[in-house]
Chains A and B, each alone.
Chain A
Amino acid sequence: MTRAETIPTTPTRERPETPVSTPGRVGESTTRADGVPKVTGEFEYSSDLWMDGMLYGATLRSPHPHANIWSVDTSEAEAVPGIFAVLTHEDVPGRKVCGMEVPDQPVLAWERVRYQGEPIALVAADHPETARRALEKISVEYEVLDPITDAEEAMREDTPKLHLSGNLLRHIHVVHGDVDTAEADVVVEGEYEVGMQDQAFLGPESGLAVPDGRGGVDLYISTQWLHIDRDQVAESLGLEPDQVRLHLSGVGGAFGGREDLSMQIHSCLLALHTGRPVKMMYNREESFYGHVHRHPARMRYEHGATRDGKLVYIKARLVFDGGAYASSSNAVCLNAGTFACGPYDVPNALVDSYMLYTNNPPCGAMRGFGAVQVCFAHEAQMDKLAKALGMDPVELRIKNAIKPGDRFPFGQEVPPPAPVAELLERLKAMPMPEEEDITGRDLRRLPGGVSNVTHGEGVRRGVGYAVGYKNVGFSAGFDDYSTAKVTLSVEGGEPLVRVHTAAAEVGQGIVTLEAQIARTELGVNKIAVLPADTSIDSAGSTSASRQSYVTGAAVKAACEAVREKVFARVREEFGEDPDGLSIEDGNVVAEGHGIVVPLAELLDGEEIGELVKYRHKPTYPLDENGQGDAHVQFAFAAQRAIVEVDEELGLVRVVEVATTQDVGKAMNPQALEGQIEGGIAQGLGLALLEEIQVKEGRIQNASFTDYLLPTILDMPPVKMEILELADPDAPYGLKGVGEPPTIASTPAIVAALRDATGRELNRVPVKPEHIVGISGPTGQPPQPGSRGPAAERA
């Protein structure tokens, strides 16, 4: 193999310059530093990375969802001019498997492939097209096996095992009170199904690996968590962690889909093998095979209540299809098991949450994971119960709303604030939008939009409500910390604060928030947030709505430590009592008698830097009965959806979504609105459009032509009322905000469709066929009492 003569050390098109951000403190809507470049197309995403002499990597993937591999012949590919490397599992020098929770996924498959699209071999070439063509020259001898494509089938004793550990990946069993002796006046049952949603981030998986010439590698990458990637890459490359340095590149959205590795190890393998920088970038089709998806679920529920509408018991059996590898399935299963009953006070509950391996695409993290699926089901059940009782569905929810001091079915005491009833009451009180005359309307305000399918014919209106909740931060005993270094210095005669963390900015705005916190705590206007990389310790994952809380707290604590040092110096030099001191506009100010000293003067060319590691209070794993203080914080949102549906064609226009959400503290109101609207759009997508259709283990619609995301015409205006009830344990009292909107919007929209059509609609996404009543849910309902471990406990 050819080696490059010279090895450049950093990409020639580097990451965007460190933004020195504009004014704005905690609680203000500050402008994002990356906002204008993104809108004007100047922002550099990881797919834009470029470096002189770089090679292009490409991945050979299995066309079969399940097969034995008898041989891989790379000789013909190696002979292609312009090819610098062809690698298989034999070339993985370290651990040959990876995975966030369970290392069960081959870096490159050997002996067996377990899903369509599983990586088998890699090539590096001097042109991307050469790389693609070389892939075709690799011959793989397969023995095609029958795929296991149904989670219930996977659970059966006589089904072949996909992994040594068996097909049952996780089972959460929650026993609360005693459902067997609980007596209810009214019982409602239901079966619900959630299809496989995709994160559909717009920036495909991409990155650039640069060998350092000393056996190590720098990887410029889009990810949600640099350090977990770094550890997995180092492990598989057989390197020490400090030989693998990750640098966050421009991330084009994540939503959970970048928690697992995609091309990280692959590009580094190719780079170290060729001694050249190697860029990899998936196209849209490959992206659908290159990351995990939201778990499809089948859920059976039974709710019992008294005649006056008090919940007596809930029984739930949840079956999730985890696909071929573990990814974050363990946490999804835990979340589903713990949130299955909704934010309600339930005296008795029995929940079984099962996670299965199959030969379907691997599923893992996606916004609201575990909670999204069960919320669709438990909210449908609450509506069904309200109907059976003849009660208003919101009244029923308020009557059963959980409150601080109650216990969740998983045993944890509900911490304050938990304003479920208040959110519902305020939501109910929000004014309804004025109803526009149906005739003479602009097509864009009718179901079907510009496609001109109705001028009002068949259109009916419906209203639906839902409330959802989820944990913020990592749970069940995970050491969930973040690290921040804050340095105060003077540059150009002006104080400057540099903030360094490894927190991944994926579009949510943590970079802006870090600057707001530093500005608030240190009274300095000029803040530089340094690029995130692994030269500092971990910030944890940008997921579980946790960065504002955990990294926010770390930055705040580091600022406080710097401030203490400043004040200590002021006491030393000026004899001022630190208690009365503050920093305003770059000056140390004493209460009552003005400026003591400008920071620029006090520092006198020196720097004050503090590194802080922050941990939220500990959580604990669940016991065998699913009991334990598993979660650290809970975030709640309630929503009301108004829809218009064309009953004859099954087409839908969502007219408005109204929401109430408790956020603890609105750190950046505009960014908060963005999170809420974006979350609702993603929930709307799941309600009406977004599904990866899988047939016999094969994806049928790996493109944006047939995987439909909502457009601006599908997305309604959102009315919101934000509650700021401080969480005493969290920095500034804040709560994570990214996920709750996604959780509540799907059930609210489907409830509105049920209200308009009278149909059951127990599967999402709801298709036009279902609305017009041509076909019911596509999934076969599980057969009660007939199958393996489920039958034993159900």
Chain B
Amino acid sequence: MEFLQPATWREALEAKSAHHEAVPIFGGTDVMVEMNFDRRRPGYVLDLTRVPEIQVWERENGKFRVGAGVTYTRIITDLKNELPALAMASRTVGSPQIRNRGTVGGNLGTSSPAGDALPPLYASDAEVELASVEGIRRVPVGEFVTGPKRNVLRREELIWGFIIPEAEGPQQYAKIGTRNAMVIAVCSFGLALHPARRKVGTCIGSAAPTPVRAKEAEEFIEGVLAEGDLWETRGAISEAALRRFGEMVEMSARPISDVRGTAEYRRRAVGVLARRTLSWAWAEYRDGR
């Protein structure tokens, strides 16, 4: 196994261009598990931890451009007010040690339906920035992930990072795990209110082959909010509407049964999470937050 250790982003792209089969590694919290269990024996490993350019985040026209090497710990400490759902999701990742090493970039690279950081990215219409020596392209996260552990990353490309709008309103993230910490999602749900646009963003995690937005539920609740003039009045959402929202989220899920839980449980649980997270986010909105 060859170990490539570029010192700059340019060098990293060149290395990837020269060795398409090279597996990029940053925190190693996914890659090393696969290698230790002998499920993967890459010919080249491309260590990105010495590349400074991807370990920064910056503000760019009301959006955040976050490098693939920004750890969960830094998301939690640096961006908890600006990107609350992503910070909440980051808090549920692994243990402190894992959060100190793991990155959202890695979560994107793995493209697991259970990736904790993905639902918040979907709910806020984030884009993934992909780069090669030829140039860069931006792909909406929902188009980036194409299946379980599959994405549109080309073999000569690396993930630079992602671009996500600053929260325009309350956001929530909730995750089911059988254990009360350090657990892979049985299922999860991310939600973002966009009061300026009168929109509600959602995403179901770990209950379909990819993270999926609950489009019908979004449209339904947007209709309820518009009809009742609730964005303006900041009035309460009826219990019936909350329930219906949960049911519609359930209908968008396409879960399977596996060692972590049954399909039926996952379906029901995402409905409960949807109802609860909407009620919390709406309560925040009503409080003027």
Interface of A with B (CB < 8 Å)?
Answer: 132, 283, 285, 444, 447-455, 457-458, 648-651, 653, 688-689, 693, 700-701, 703, 705-706, 708, 710-714, 767-769, 772, 774-775
Contacts and interface: CB of A to CB of B under 8 A. Distances in A.
Contacts of B65: none
A774 B178 CA distance: 15
B270 to A, nearest CB: 10
B236 interface: no
B3 interface: no
A196 to B, nearest CB: 13
A689 B174 contact: no
A701 B178 CA distance: 14
A51 B276 CA distance: 58
Contacts of B172: 452
Contact of A706 (B180, B260, B273, B280): B260
B182 interface: yes
A448 B176 contact: yes
Given A451-B183, A769-B265, A774-B262, A708 B91 contact: no
B272 interface: yes
B261 interface: yes
Contacts of A700: 259
Interface residues of B, number: 33
B77 interface: no
A120 to B, nearest CB: 18
Given A772-B265, A775-B264, 19 more contacts: A447-B180, A448-B174, A448-B180, A449-B179, A449-B181, A450-B92, A450-B180, A452-B88, A452-B91, A453-B174, A453-B276, A650-B265, A651-B176, A651-B180, A706-B184, A708-B178, A711-B179, A711-B181, A768-B176
Interface string B69-108: 0000000000000000000100110000000000000000
Nearest to B186: A768
20 contacts: A444-B180, A448-B177, A448-B180, A449-B180, A452-B173, A453-B174, A453-B175, A453-B273, A453-B276, A454-B276, A649-B176, A651-B176, A708-B179, A708-B183, A710-B179, A713-B179, A769-B261, A769-B265, A772-B268, A774-B265
Nearest to B277: A452
B180 A768 contact: no
Contacts of A712: 181
B269 interface: yes
A451 B176 contact: yes
Given A457-B276, A706-B260, A775-B262, A714 B38 contact: no
The SS class assigned to the A binding surface is: loop
A794 B203 CA distance: 54
B36 interface: yes
Interface of B: 33, 36-38, 88, 91-92, 172-184, 186, 259-262, 264-265, 268-269, 272-273, 276, 280
Contacts of B261: 767-769
Contacts of A688: 178
B262 to A, nearest CB: 5
Contacts of B269: 649, 768
Contacts of B259: 693, 700-701, 706
Contacts of A454: 276
A452 B182 contact: no
Contacts of A710: 179
5 A-B pairs with the lowest CB-CB distances in the bound complex, closest first = A449-B180, A713-B181, A451-B175, A713-B180, A769-B265
B59 to A, nearest CB: 26
A534 B175 CA distance: 52
Contacts of A650: 265
Given A454-B276, A706-B259, A772-B268, A767 B178 contact: yes
A519 B91 CA distance: 50
B265 A705 contact: no
Contacts of A651: 176, 178, 180
B272 A649 contact: yes
B189 to A, nearest CB: 9
Contacts of B91: 450, 452
Nearest to B89: A452
A530 B161 CA distance: 57
Contacts of A693: 259
A626 B173 CA distance: 57
A689 B179 contact: yes
B273 to A, nearest CB: 6
Question: Looking at A649, A653, A714, which has the most chain B CB atoms within 10 Å of its CB?
Answer: A649
B272 A452 contact: no
A78 B280 CA distance: 64
A710 B179 CA distance: 7
A714 to B, nearest CB: 5
B178 A283 contact: no
B285 to A, nearest CB: 16
Contacts of B88: 452
Contacts of B179: 449, 689, 708, 710-711, 713-714
Contacts of B181: 449-451, 711-714
A653 B180 contact: yes
A452 B92 contact: yes
Contacts of B182: 711
A405 to B, nearest CB: 45
Nearest to A654: B180
A705 B184 contact: yes
Nearest to B269: A649
Contacts of A703: 37
